[in-house]
Amino acid sequence: MAETQILDEDELALRQPPESPLREFWHIFRRDRLAMAGLIVLVLLLFAAFAAKALTEWTVVFDPATVRLVDKFKPPMSAASTLLPAEDLPRGGIYLLGTDELGRDVFARMLQGSFVSLSIGFVAVGISIFIGILLGGLAGYYGNLRIFRLMTVDTLIMRFTDVMLCFPTFFLILTVVALLPPSIYNIMIVIGLTSWMGTARFVRAEFLALREQDFVVAAQAMGLPERRIIFVHMVPNAIAPVLVSATIGVATAILTESALSFLGFGVQPPFATWGNILSDGKGYIFDAPWLFFIPGMAILVVVLAFNLVGEGMREALNPKLRRRT
């Protein structure tokens, strides 16, 4: 090899310690205090949700279902009545967050609800992301394919997306839920099926841009299978903005579920969700304000946290703030 030594410009780039794209992302994200606060809330919530599953179902430490008519409307931190049989006593003999109109432990119900709310959020968003990536990817990658000589795959998919966007989603969900039995699974699916449009648009735009990128052309020139080009080279590069909108999507799904439960179309009793705790509490606003205040605050904080984290991620992924990657 005659002259292939590397000059200064080249060496400079490597003298800096290597920073992986993920590290760099974390670096920028960490500087955003609000997003970090949101992240901490979400981590706590995640722990709470899994603890809830374990402590209210597997080994019943906190029992959300026990009805204690002698202990109706106990405010938070109050002690349990001495009249209760031993097996009905709450843990430690006090109601951390009070009791409701049937004397059920609100803390236990909130815990149970956190798992339900989170799982609805995640599963619904999972469904919506799956559909969004699939349709957006098809439109972006095979967009120029014409069907029936009339329109392209792209036109077909994107017009369908527009149609879906035109429906007032919440009323669509209400209609569907009114027709179907209101189980937790139906709610997850319905929310998922009505919230993929943003993702589809995102992914399409990303794919259209990526398809022109030289590294995708290089992959084609190397004769790599189309499957591999799409899933190894394109999807990982399109996924970042999708994750941002998914994070915010979880908040929207939780809010939608709460609203449905509040209206009585959501998850049915005896299952507690934040929405139906709030709904049950609305009749006793003056007598037992904690019954709507606690689930209301929980929904507010969690939705806010998801939004803050989503915004923080969006900032951290903003190419103007990063070195060119």
Partner 1 sequence: MSSPALLEVRGLKKHFPVRGGFFARVQDWVKAVDGVSFDVYPGETLALVGESGCGKTTAARCVLRLIEPSAGEVLFEGRNLAQLDSAGMRELRRDMQIIFQDPYSSLNPRMSIGNMIGEPLRVHGVTGNGELERRVSELLEIVGLSAAYQRRYPHEFSGGQRQRIGIARALAMNPKFVVCDEAVSALDVSIQAQIINLLNDLQAQFNLAYLFIAHDLNVVRHIADRVAVMYLGRIVEVAPVEELFNAPRHPYTQALIAANPVPDPDVAQEGQPLQGDVPSPLRPPSGCHFHPRCPQAMDKCKEKYPDTTAMSETHSVSCLLYES
3-state percent helix, strand, coil for the chain, nearest multiple of 5: 70, 5, 30
Binding flag, residue 223, partner 1 (CB under 8 A): yes
Binding flag, residue 236, partner 1 (CB under 8 A): yes
Collapse the DSSP code of 100 into the 3-class scheme (helix H, G, I; strand E, B; otherwise coil) and give the result.
coil
CB of 1 to partner 1, least distance (A): 6
Indicate if the alpha-carbon torsion angle 101, 104, 105, 109 is positive or negative: negative
Question: With left for phi above 0 and alpha for psi between -120 and 50, is residue 151 left, alpha or beta?
Answer: beta
- Residues in the interface with partner 1 (CB under 8 A) total 41
Binding flag, residue 241, partner 1 (CB under 8 A): no
- Measured from the CB atom, the residue of 226 and 287 that comes closer to partner 1 is 226
Collapse the DSSP code of 247 into the 3-class scheme (helix H, G, I; strand E, B; otherwise coil) and give the result.
helix
258 vs 154: CA distance, rounded Å: 35
CB of 22 to partner 1, least distance (A): 10
32 vs 316: CA distance, rounded Å: 9
- Measured from the CB atom, the residue of 23 and 30 that comes closer to partner 1 is 23
Please answer whether residues 250 and 261 qualify as being in contact, where contact means their C-beta atoms are separated by less than 8 angstroms.
Answer: no
Binding flag, residue 150, partner 1 (CB under 8 A): yes
- Measured from the CB atom, the residue of 69 and 150 that comes closer to partner 1 is 150
- Measured from the CB atom, the residue of 16 and 82 that comes closer to partner 1 is 16
Q: Which of 78, 81, 119, 155 binds partner 1 (CB under 8 A)?
A: 155
For residue 26, how many C-alpha atoms fall within 13 Å in the half-sphere facing its CB?
A: 5
Binding flag, residue 213, partner 1 (CB under 8 A): yes
- List CB contacts of 153: < 8 A, sequence separation 6 or more: 138, 139, 142, 143, 144, 145, 146, 147
- Determine the interface stretch with partner 1 among 34-42, 83-91, 218-226, 310-318 (rule: CB under 8 A): 218-226
List the one residue out of 52, 82, 46 whose CA is nearest residue 64: 52
- Determine the interface stretch with partner 1 among 7-15, 67-75, 117-125, 193-201 (rule: CB under 8 A): 7-15
Q: Which of 6, 69, 86, 166 binds partner 1 (CB under 8 A)?
A: 6
Q: Which of 58, 83, 320, 323 binds partner 1 (CB under 8 A)?
A: 323
Binding flag, residue 318, partner 1 (CB under 8 A): no
116 vs 133: CA distance, rounded Å: 25
Q: Which of 30, 33, 228, 282 binds partner 1 (CB under 8 A)?
A: 228
Please answer whether residues 97 and 294 qualify as being in contact, where contact means their C-beta atoms are separated by less than 8 angstroms.
Answer: yes
Q: Which of 79, 151, 165, 301 binds partner 1 (CB under 8 A)?
A: 151
The string of DSSP letters for 156-211 reads: HHHHHHHHHHHS-HHHHHHHHHHHS---HHHHHHHHHHTS-HHHHHHHHHHHHHHH
Binding flag, residue 148, partner 1 (CB under 8 A): no
Helices 184-193 & 169-179 angle (0-180, nearest 10): 150
CB of 5 to partner 1, least distance (A): 7
CB of 17 to partner 1, least distance (A): 9
Binding flag, residue 224, partner 1 (CB under 8 A): yes
Q: Which residues bind partner 1 (CB under 8 A)?
A: 1-7, 9-10, 12-14, 16, 18-21, 150-152, 155, 213-215, 217-225, 228, 232-233, 236-237, 323-325
